[in-house]
């Protein structure tokens, strides 16, 4: 029998350990957690929480790690005594309740992987974990599986903010010393995978591995490419190409041997997904094993309507094997190109720009984009934001630690770095239009195939990066944002506003980043 003594979980009900996908379907449907959609996906609702709850995430402050953590508004400290109170409540709550346990790995490279155990009160969350972590198929290994880190996930258990000093009834508490994550009050499954991503972002730099909040793919010639970006910027969409093998869509590491996926699955946005624009991802919504969160479903025909939902952040979690063209072992060599994706709500940035190594580090630390509606609670429409390393909520170390690793690897492997705007053109959000996926694919393809070689670039007078004057398959007028605005003077005003935001945001990092990086920013 599975031993849970290390967590001091006693008197629990039936323990469902590493159930198969069909078994988890049966349990989830029998318990009223989900329904099966047309052609096989499991459809669930996450209730009140349809995105990450950033204000409810804390890191336990203890002597083992406190000198290493980047404390502040991102990594908020949590008292160890309060952590024990929450854990005590969870143990009491789980008495006589059935639990579901899934074991797997984070990290496709055996040299850097960790063993993860996810304990949840819901069958569908166990299926989510089964999809998102890398599976172990050897029965002997599974029988002796001892986790490095454990996630205890009880969405129906609510904290008492007055007694336990959480921010609300929901909580995501990371205890690096005890190698444990406890989550409660929220059914949003993304909290499970992102908590372990945070763990990897703490562990990997110590071993010289750069953690990437990115997707990656590789061509037939072994030319891998990395796509940085926050949720909603197009990481999954733009890295999923029929003629390039997918390495991973969200969380990766870059070691001395190359890039590797942390995950065994993908977690893609589903709102307004179409077979025409994103055929590979669309087909996963018609597959057994896919978990669909908050999508609209007809209760009788069980057919999906991906055009409408009660949240912009509808999601699909599916095994990476649901994608036809994937990289063997979810690993590849060093990237030749890096794309920093941003959904610019100001409509100021060009669809693609070439960055110097110093500019690459500057934009990496800045992590400018727009929060997409529904990705976090309270966000109703895109908002300009800066998120260090294109994933500050998951970076427990200071951003310059990751930036220095990035700069070192760019120099060692002669990587070309590009800034790609998947946001708005012709004006800001509400006035302009969002770039078509086809145009974003077009500029990326041109970069990967070296189609920009021999084409002239011009330096942007405000941001200093270089912009191509033409691109195969993309309308030339889109390449120069100022020309897409009906009022060029209004563009100049917005560009200056955005430049000031960059400079103001970077003040936090100025001292540790140094003068060279500060000079790589925009001119104000």
* Euclidean distance between CA atoms 168 and 521, whole angstroms: 38
Examine the domain organization and report whether 133 and 248 are in the same domain. no
Whether residue 470 is predicted with pLDDT greater than 90 in this model: the reply is yes
Examine the domain organization and report whether 197 and 66 are in the same domain. yes
The reported pLDDT for the residue numbered 388 is 96
Whether residue 136 is predicted with pLDDT greater than 70 in this model: the reply is yes
The reported pLDDT for the residue numbered 374 is 53
pLDDT, tens digit, 9 for 90 and up, residues 473-489: 999 999 999 999 999 99
Q: Band of the pLDDT at 496, cuts 50, 70, 90?
A: very high
Q: What is the mean pLDDT of residues 327-347?
A: 96
Token reading at 258: 């190359």
Q: What is the mean pLDDT of residues 302-323?
A: 94
Examine the domain organization and report whether 344 and 440 are in the same domain. yes
Whether residue 133 is predicted with pLDDT greater than 90 in this model: the reply is yes
Residues 6+ apart with CB under 8 A from 466: 353, 354, 457, 458, 459, 460
The reported pLDDT for the residue numbered 63 is 95
Residue that finishes a domain, picked among 164, 184, 206: 206
Token reading at 453: 């070689």
Helix (H, G, I), strand (E, B) or coil at 37: coil
Cβ(267)–Cβ(132) under 8 Å? yes
Examine the domain organization and report whether 402 and 460 are in the same domain. yes
Assess if residue 478 is contained within a domain.
yes
Whether residue 289 is predicted with pLDDT greater than 70 in this model: the reply is yes
Examine the domain organization and report whether 240 and 372 are in the same domain. yes
Q: Which stretches does DSSP call E strand in 464-517?
A: 466-468
Token reading at 175: 């205890």
Q: What is the mean pLDDT of residues 170-181?
A: 97
| Residue 435 DSSP one-character state | P
Domain hosting 463: range is: 210-264+329-519
Residue that finishes a domain, picked among 176, 191, 206: 206
Q: What is the mean pLDDT of residues 309-321?
A: 93
Q: Band of the pLDDT at 377, cuts 50, 70, 90?
A: low
* Euclidean distance between CA atoms 38 and 155, whole angstroms: 27
Examine the domain organization and report whether 23 and 121 are in the same domain. yes
Give pTM, 2 decimals.
Answer: 0.94
Assess if residue 279 is contained within a domain.
no
Residue that finishes a domain, picked among 162, 186, 206: 206
Other residues' Cβ atoms within 10 Å of the Cβ of residue 164: 20
Examine the domain organization and report whether 189 and 228 are in the same domain. no
What mean pLDDT value characterizes the chain? 94
Whether residue 376 is predicted with pLDDT greater than 60 in this model: the reply is no
The reported pLDDT for the residue numbered 310 is 82
Assess if residue 270 is contained within a domain.
no
Residue of 73, 32, 244 lying closest to 156 (CA atoms): 32
Assess if residue 251 is contained within a domain.
yes
Element (H, E) at 114: strand 114-120
Examine the domain organization and report whether 68 and 193 are in the same domain. yes
| Residue 477 DSSP one-character state | G
Residue of 271, 102, 270, 123 lying closest to 196 (CA atoms): 102
| Residue 40 DSSP one-character state | S
Token reading at 417: 């770095």
DSSP per-residue string spanning 191-258 = HHHHHHHHHHHHHTGGGTPEEEEEEEEE-TTS-EEEEE--TTSSHHHHH-BTTBEEEESSEEEE-SS-
Give, in degrees to the nearest 5, the angle at Cα 159 between 383 and 232.
Answer: 25
Whether residue 1 is predicted with pLDDT greater than 60 in this model: the reply is no
> Residue holding tokens 């890191």?
59
> Residue holding tokens 């427990």?
396
Torsions phi, psi for 205 (to 5 deg) = -60, -30
Assess if residue 247 is contained within a domain.
yes
The reported pLDDT for the residue numbered 5 is 60
Examine the domain organization and report whether 245 and 385 are in the same domain. yes
282 burial (CB, 10 Å; 0-12 / 13-18 / 19+) is middle
The reported pLDDT for the residue numbered 28 is 98
Q: Could you give the residue numbers annotated as active site? A: 52, 194, 213, 231, 235-236, 250, 315
Radius of gyration of the chain (CA): 23
Assess if residue 511 is contained within a domain.
yes
DSSP per-residue string spanning 285-299 = TTSTT-EEES-EE-T
CATH of the domain at 504: 3.90.228.20
Examine the domain organization and report whether 224 and 340 are in the same domain. yes
Examine the domain organization and report whether 389 and 426 are in the same domain. yes
Q: What is the mean pLDDT of residues 30-51?
A: 97
Q: Higher pLDDT residue, 383 or 299?
A: 299
> Residue holding tokens 């063993």?
115
Q: Is the dihedral of CA 265, 269, 272, 276 positive or negative?
A: negative
CATH of the domain at 147: 3.40.449.10
Q: Band of the pLDDT at 385, cuts 50, 70, 90?
A: confident
Assess if residue 454 is contained within a domain.
yes
Q: Band of the pLDDT at 380, cuts 50, 70, 90?
A: low
Angle between helices 190-203 and 123-132 (to 10 degrees): 40
Residue count of the chain: 524
Helix (H, G, I), strand (E, B) or coil at 503: helix
Lowest-confidence segment of 52-61, 377-386, 402-411, 462-471 by average pLDDT: 377-386
Examine the domain organization and report whether 239 and 200 are in the same domain. no
414 burial (CB, 10 Å; 0-12 / 13-18 / 19+) is exposed
Token reading at 84: 């024990």
Cβ(332)–Cβ(224) under 8 Å? yes
What total number of domains does the chain contain? 2
Assess if residue 38 is contained within a domain.
no
Whether residue 129 is predicted with pLDDT greater than 60 in this model: the reply is yes
476 burial (CB, 10 Å; 0-12 / 13-18 / 19+) is exposed
């Amino acid at each position: 029998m599975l031993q849970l003594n290390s967590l001091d979980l006693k008197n629990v009900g039936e323990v469902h350990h590493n159930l198969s996908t069909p078994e988890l379907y049966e349990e989830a449907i029998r318990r009223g957690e989900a329904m099966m959609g047309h052609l096989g996906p499991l459809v669930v609702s996450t209730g009140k929480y349809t995105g990450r709850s950033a204000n409810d995430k804390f890191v336990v402050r203890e002597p083992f790690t406190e000198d290493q953590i980047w404390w502040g508004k991102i990594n908020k400290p949590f008292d160890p005594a309060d952590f024990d109170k929450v854990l005590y409540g969870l143990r009491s709550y789980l008495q006589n309740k059935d639990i579901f346990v899934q074991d797997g790995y984070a990290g496709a490279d055996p040299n850097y992987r960790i063993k993860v155990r996810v304990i949840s009160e819901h069958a569908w969350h166990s299926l989510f974990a089964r999809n998102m972590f890398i599976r172990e198929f050897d029965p002997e290994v599974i029988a002796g599986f001892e986790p490095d880190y454990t996630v205890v996930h009880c969405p129906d258990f609510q904290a008492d903010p007055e007694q336990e000093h959480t921010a609300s009834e929901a909580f995501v508490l990371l205890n690096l010393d005890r190698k444990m994550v406890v989550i409660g009050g929220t059914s949003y499954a993304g909290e499970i995978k992102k908590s372990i991503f945070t763990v990897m972002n703490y562990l990997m730099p110590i071993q010289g591995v750069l953690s990437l909040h990115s997707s990656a793919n590789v061509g037939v010639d072994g030319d891998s490419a990395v796509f940085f970006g926050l949720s909603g910027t197009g990481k999954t969409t733009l890295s999923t190409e029929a003629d390039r093998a997918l390495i991973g869509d969200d969380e990766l590491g870059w070691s001395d041997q190359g890039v590797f996926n942390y995950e065994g699955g993908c977690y893609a946005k589903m709102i307004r997904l179409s077979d025409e624009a994103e055929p590979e991802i669309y087909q996963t919504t018609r597959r057994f094993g896919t978990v669909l969160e908050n999508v609209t479903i007809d209760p009788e025909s069980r057919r999906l309507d991906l055009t409408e939902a009660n949240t912009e952040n509808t999601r699909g979690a599916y095994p990476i094997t649901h994608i036809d063209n994937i990289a063997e072992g979810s690993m590849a060599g060093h990237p030749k190109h890096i794309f920093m994706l941003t959904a610019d709500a100001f409509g100021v940035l060009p669809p693609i720009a070439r960055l110097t190594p110093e500019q690459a580090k500057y934009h990496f630390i800045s992590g400018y984009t727009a929060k997409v509606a529904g990705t976090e609670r309270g966000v109703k429409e895109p908002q300009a934001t800066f998120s260090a390393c294109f994933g500050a909520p998951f970076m427990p170390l200071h951003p310059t630690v990751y930036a220095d690793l990035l700069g070192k690897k760019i120099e060692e492997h002669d990587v070309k770095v590009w800034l790609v705007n998947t946001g708005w053109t012709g004006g800001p959000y509400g006035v302009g239009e969002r770039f078509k996926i086809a145009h974003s694919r077009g500029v990326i393809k041109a970069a990967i195939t070296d189609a920009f070689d021999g084409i002239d670039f011009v330096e942007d007078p405000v941001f200093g990066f270089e912009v191509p004057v033409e691109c195969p398959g993309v309308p030339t007028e889109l390449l120069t944002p100022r020309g897409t605005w009906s009022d060029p003077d209004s563009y100049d005003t917005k560009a200056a506003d955005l430049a000031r935001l960059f400079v103001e945001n970077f003040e936090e990092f100025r001292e540790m980043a140094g003068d060279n990086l500060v000079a790589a920013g925009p001119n104000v």
